[in-house]
Amino acid sequence: MKRIFFSVTLLFIAVLAWGQQRFPLSLKTDDKITMHGFCYWQQLQVKSKDTSFTTHLHRANPDEIKNLKAGTYTLTAVSVFGGKLSKKVELNKKTAPVKWKGLQAFYKRVPEKESLSGKLKLNDTLFILYSSSADENAREKIGITKTASGYKAIQYRGISQEVQQEMQFKDEFFKDVVAFEANGKKANSPKAETAPKAEIYTIALRKEIISFIVPAEWNGMNNLKAKLFIAEQK
């Protein structure tokens, strides 16, 4: 009886010790650097039965998360436009570096002749992302949501998911959003990529995106924000 008890105790200790073992999780995604100089997929949510946290993607190549317990993890990549893509990983001492495909193909580039703002439907959010070639810290994101009661403009803190302010604006002034996209495409210039200063934009709707780069100081984002958040509010 003592031998059986001793054996069971040893087995319990071994199982407990295995459960407490920690391993690194190495992850490499297939998304490429954009016109903005970074990747759209910025965050990684990590969940298991006993842990849940969020970390940044692309801190290294590949990214590595250290000191995780052995077990099953759900990894969820989150883009600056709110898109999500998930993957399950079984982590143990034999787990190889994880290669994650599909992020690069998640967003489809559409022809410039198409108008994403013109395709906005009820409960959709159109995102506009801005950066400057002269200042890597100058990054902004706004959203335009079509609701049952009209349109809502959303300003985020930088390019995060944190909302800084929201404001309803008159339906008739949605034409300013459409004009912003149309005028930006007209001003788009490949030569701007080598200009000392240029404004870079990406417009995203659902899983479609359009990008353009405008030389010099077009000031498109500030002008649009002034109209949506101040001048044309209800």
pLDDT in tens, 28-71: 999 998 888 889 999 999 999 988 999 999 988 888 888 889 99
Return d(Cα 151, Cα 146) in angstroms, integer: 5
Amino acid identity for residue 206 in this structure: R
pLDDT bucket at 8, cuts 50 / 70 / 90: very low
Number of folded domains that form the chain:
2
**pTM for the structure as a whole:** 0.84
Coil, strand or helix at 40? coil
pLDDT bucket at 81, cuts 50 / 70 / 90: very high
Q: Does residue 89 lie within any of the structural domains? A: yes
Return d(Cα 139, Cα 135) in angstroms, integer: 9
Which domain-ending residue is among 70, 100, 130?
100
Give the count of beta carbons closer than 10 Å to the beta carbon of residue 95.
Answer: 16
Q: The domain spanning residue 94 has which CATH number? A: 2.60.40
Mind listing the pLDDT tens digit for each residue in 92-146? Answer: 988 889 999 999 999 999 998 899 999 999 999 999 999 987 777 789 999 999 9
Is residue 221 within 8 A of residue 228, CB to CB? The reply is no
Same domain? For 54 and 118 the reply is no
Structural domain harbouring 198: 108-231
Residues 6+ apart with CB under 8 A from 21: 69, 70, 93
What's phi and psi for 173, nearest 5 deg? -95, 5
Q: Does residue 141 lie within any of the structural domains? A: yes
Q: Does residue 148 lie within any of the structural domains? A: yes
